[in-house]
A and B are shown apart, each in its own frame.
Chain A
Amino acid sequence: MSEIVLDDVHVRREGRHVLRGVSVRLTERRVAVIGANGSGKSTLARLLNGLVTPTSGRVLVDGLDVRRHGRAVRRRVGFVFTDPDAQIVMPTVAEDVAFSLRGSGLSRAQVRDRVAAELARHGLADHADHPAHLLSGGQKQLLALSSVLVTAPDLVVADEPTTLLDLRNTRLIADRLAALEQQVVLVTHDLDLVDGYDRVLVVDEGRVVVDDVPAVAVPAYRTLMAAPVR
């Protein structure tokens, strides 16, 4: 498992203090981050692959500082976005998966084989040459996941990957994430998804306010959200 270390991380963006001193060390296989809209959990996710850099403090992934080694970190960390349409950059399904292997030094045949194997793993083999925009929402998210996994990252960070999906596809994506060998950091609103996770961080107003197993963290989050807004 990778070791993720956040050391007194503050993030200020456009005058807002989004994260206010987060310090955690994550080594568990399944880590979930839950929190309200605007709590800072998406920013927390983006810190892990250097899409956002801390205003102060440090983020280390396997000892690599994401600020200095952003590129190397992004090679280890696969990132699944909420909206697959934002993530899918190529016109057709197979091309999009192949895009992840640009500059990998693999031959054309090797790329083709890897792409085919990855698509088959996610039941997308029949759609390989279809335009990506003709896929259903669930299939698009599967494609986004395939494009992430084809590079064999050590860590998969998913930022609310099921928010735009219906119940069936939510289950499907959650099951795929649960079945991964890799370490997973899942940011979500869907409290059902965190069952079986090793550790749950509850983020509120830019701080980690609860850090525990799901059986403790989820009820604590519900109580927190039921409290009147300050």
Chain B
Amino acid sequence: MTGTTSAAPTGGSPVHRLGAGPKLVALCLCSLALLGVHGPLGAGVAVVGVVALHALARLGPRVLWAHVRPLRWVVVCLLAVQWWLLGPVEAVVLSTRLVALVALAGLVTATTATQDVLDTLEHALRPGRRWGVDPERVALVLALTLRSVPVLADLAARVRDAQRARGREADVRAFAVPLVVGSLRRADALGEALRARGLDD
């Protein structure tokens, strides 16, 4: 969970120093470029590029692995299905594209402070005011979401432990009900905290 909410480590690499705005734009452009990759050569270039960018950011292979690790089962399934439908070359190219995309997104998250991303989004959404979008509110909701991920993960772990302690490992309801109730409680507490801290409406 650390990867999703970490602030930028105080890394002095050029990738860290680049502003959140340019990085997000670059991420968009790279994603578009990746969609255009169809051959093994392009896929190879993408892999080299991703590895090189991680090296430039002084992030080791372990960080790179941590970014793409959550994908491992998805990739296995995808690879199998595509192999069967499209053949080995196409399957490897398409899977590589996906992994490269996620690795790049991970790179941006790991080298950018959450606050910078939120500020950039807030800035970018400002023209939306005309259509009733409140950029500050959108940024706040995103921040609250990021904060809630580890809190809810903790809650899920506690519920699972309690379930195990009572010998009900396989019972989906024994897991889901306390998790939902706990999440709603947490939402109430969050509302109360926001009010107490001066966010009234």
Contact = CB atoms under 8 A, between A and B. Distances in A.
B197 A99 contact: yes
Interface stretch (A22-30, A83-91, A211-219): A83-91
A132 interface: yes
Interface of B is mostly: helix
B113 interface: yes
Interface residues on A, range: 20 to 34
Nearest to A84: B193
Interface residues of B, number: 30
A86 B154 CA distance: 13
B8 interface: yes
B144 A89 contact: yes
A90 B147 contact: yes
Contact of A88 (B147, B154, B199, B200): B147
Given A129-B8, A129-B10, A102 B196 contact: no
B189 interface: yes
Contacts of A129: 7-10, 113
Contacts of A99: 197
B198 A89 contact: no
B160 interface: no
B38 to A, nearest CB: 38
A144 to B, nearest CB: 9
A133 B5 contact: yes
A14 to B, nearest CB: 13
Nearest to B118: A95
Contacts of A221: none
Contact of B143 (A49, A70, A90): A90
Interface in B75-118: 113-115
Interface stretch (A73-81, A116-124, A191-199): A73-81
Given A100-B198, A103-B198, A130 B7 contact: yes
B192 A51 contact: yes
A131 B150 contact: yes
Interface in B150-201: 150-151, 154, 186, 189-190, 192-200
Interface of A: 49, 51, 70-71, 74-75, 79, 81, 83, 85-92, 94-95, 98-100, 102-103, 129-134, 147, 151
24 contacts: A49-B196, A51-B196, A71-B200, A83-B189, A86-B190, A86-B192, A87-B196, A89-B143, A89-B190, A90-B143, A90-B147, A91-B143, A91-B147, A92-B113, A94-B7, A95-B115, A102-B199, A129-B8, A129-B10, A132-B147, A133-B1, A133-B150, A133-B154, A151-B198
